[in-house]
């Protein structure tokens, strides 16, 4: 059993409710989606077995000092079988945080019992060019019993229908929604603060458990 890992690095989580915590990021190669705004470099990588990856991070990092290990990508659930072997080797040392595009609901079931926090993207067709709402609903059904929040990256094209769909997913699964303005190439928000406020108001009118958090790591200039 092997997986291709693009990079391993220590940094500060810049998104969502655990923003500001130190995490060890393990970025997996490959993704099942092809979002219009994707800027993630994940094609090049190094091959690991579950054992060699665990040995590497245990020998190079003091895992107890991290809030959690962030499994990211690409899409880490493409390597679900690998994760089911890898996570038990390190789970006694820190928490496991899964960053996922929330479309591979069957793969989630392979690793769910090892995951402490699920950061599930809800992708908007207006920002990604693809409509994946049906897949997100099925995925969130399978998150039941595990701490989960949903991140929604939006830009100026977000529609009222998308706002309503996000609110209904939040209500149905009782999860917190994190609105995240898409960033421009200059590492500034691609939408105005006024627009952010309008979208937050529209969403909280329907479902109040929502926060707006920009990508903080871009402001503090870390990865
Ligand atoms: S899900 Fe994430 S990694 Fe995959 S294409 Fe979309 S933005 Fe890129």
pTM of the model: 0.94
Domains observed in the chain? 3-219 (3.20.20.70)
pLDDT-based confidence at 13, cuts 50/70/90? Answer: very high
Check whether 76 has a pLDDT greater than 80.
Answer: yes
> What does the pLDDT look like over 14-46, one tens digit per residue?
999 999 999 999 999 999 998 877 877 778 999
> What does the pLDDT look like over 98-132, one tens digit per residue?
999 999 999 999 999 999 999 999 999 998 888 89
Residue nearest to atom 2 of ligand 1 (CA): 74
Distances (CA, A) of 139 to 35, 97, 102, 108, 211: 18, 16, 6, 8, 21
What pLDDT sits at residue 9? 96
List pocket residues of ligand 1, CB cut-off 6 Å. 31, 33-35, 38, 40, 73-75, 101
What pLDDT sits at residue 220? 66
Work out the angle at residue 182's Cα, subtended by the Cα atoms of residues 96 and 129, and round it to the nearest 5 degrees. 95
Report the DSSP pairing between strands 95-100 and 210-212: unpaired
Check whether 70 has a pLDDT greater than 90.
Answer: yes
CB 146 within 8 A of CB 114: no
Instruction: Give the contacts of 97 (CB within 8 A, at least 6 positions apart).
Output: 13, 18, 23, 67, 68, 69, 70, 71, 115, 116, 117, 119
pLDDT-based confidence at 163, cuts 50/70/90? Answer: very high
CA proximity to 170, closest of 131, 195, 143, 197: 143
Residues 26/109/119/77 CA torsion (nearest 10 deg): 40
Alpha carbon distance, N-terminus to C-terminus of the chain? 29
185 CA from centroid of ligand 1 (Å): 17
**Can you say how many angstroms the Cα of residue 162 is from the centroid of all Cα atoms in its chain?**
19
What pLDDT sits at residue 183? 82
What pLDDT sits at residue 146? 98
Mutate to test the pocket of ligand 1, among 25, 36, 74 (most ligand atoms within 8 A of CB): 74
Q: Based on the number of CB atoms within 10 Å of its own CB, is 125 exposed (0-12), middle (13-18) or buried (19 or more)?
A: middle
Q: Which atom of ligand 1 is nearest to the CA of 42?
A: 3
Per-residue pLDDT, averaged over 40-67, amounts to: 95
């Amino acid at each position: 059993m092997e997986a291709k890992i693009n990079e391993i690095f220590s940094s500060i989580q810049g998104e969502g409710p655990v923003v500001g915590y130190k995490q060890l990021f393990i970025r997996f190669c490959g993704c099942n989606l092809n979002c219009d705004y994707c800027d993630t470099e994940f094609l090049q990588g190094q091959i690991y077995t579950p054992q060699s990856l665990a040995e590497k991070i245990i020998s190079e990092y003091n895992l107890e000092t991290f809030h959690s290990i962030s499994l990211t990508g690409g899409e880490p659930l493409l390597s679900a079988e690998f994760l089911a072997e890898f996570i038990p080797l390190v789970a006694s040392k820190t928490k496991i945080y899964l960053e996922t595009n929330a479309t591979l609901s069957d793969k989630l079931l392979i690793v769910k019992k090892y995951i402490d926090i699920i950061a599930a993207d809800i992708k908007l067709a207006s920002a990604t060019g693809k409509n994946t709402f049906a897949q997100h609903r099925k995925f969130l059904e399978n998150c039941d019993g595990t701490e989960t929040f949903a991140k929604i990256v939006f830009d100026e094209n977000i529609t009222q229908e998308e706002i309503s769909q996000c609110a209904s997913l939040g209500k149905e699964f009782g999860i917190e929604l994190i609105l995240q303005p898409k960033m421009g190439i200059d590492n500034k928000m691609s939408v105005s603060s006024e627009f952010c406020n309008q979208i937050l108001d529209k969403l909280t009118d329907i479902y109040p458990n929502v926060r707006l958090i920009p990508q903080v790591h871009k402001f503090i200039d870390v990865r």
